[in-house]
Amino acid sequence: MSQGCQHCRAGILTGRSEVPNRVATSIKAHAHLRHCPFCGSWWEEGEREAHVVSEEQARSIFPSYFGGDYEEPKTFSAAILNVLTSALDAGGSVEAVAQWSKALVVQMKRPLTDAMRTNLQEKSADLRFFRHNLVSHYEASEGFMDDRSATAISFPLS
């Protein structure tokens, strides 16, 4: 079983991140269930510790979440994770993870350079490139969308 990825481990250790996302609470177990959109890991977070659990264990501890009317949490597609890895390798950092109206989006702190944009467009032909100009309800941004998984990565426009 995985021990999570760098994103969810950092979020668990600092306790200040929305990753992994809290998706359920069990009063009986005195625990929260968290899900990482980057690697798909399930975390059981107790009062003093947190650890990765299998999906089977998560279903056992949080049956009302899995048996209810909740939408299963999304995990970023491999194509989006490849773009994210390239951006992080180039010195980028994650600002936030947010659910937009049509996708789960990892929002980056810094804009794309022209060279990076060109490189990513060539490497990510299976993703849809988008660009949004500044409007009243959201910042100007550009990025890549995986329409099949409804996940995306967004960079601010400089």
The predicted-structure confidence for 21-44, as pLDDT tens digits, reads as follows: 888 888 888 999 999 999 999 999
Structure tokens at 79: 């194509």
Rounded Cα distance between 42 and 55, Å, is 7
Phi, psi dihedral angles at 61 (to 5 degrees): -80, -35
With 70 as the cut, is the pLDDT of residue 137 above it?
no
Q: What is the pLDDT of residues 51-108, one digit of tens each?
A: 999 999 999 888 888 876 666 678 899 999 999 999 999 999 998 888 888 889 999 9
Rounded Cα distance between 79 and 122, Å, is 13
CA angle in degrees (0–180, nearest 5) for 141-110-41? 90
**Count of CA atoms in the C-beta half-sphere (13 A) of 138:** 14
**Count of CA atoms in the C-beta half-sphere (13 A) of 3:** 4
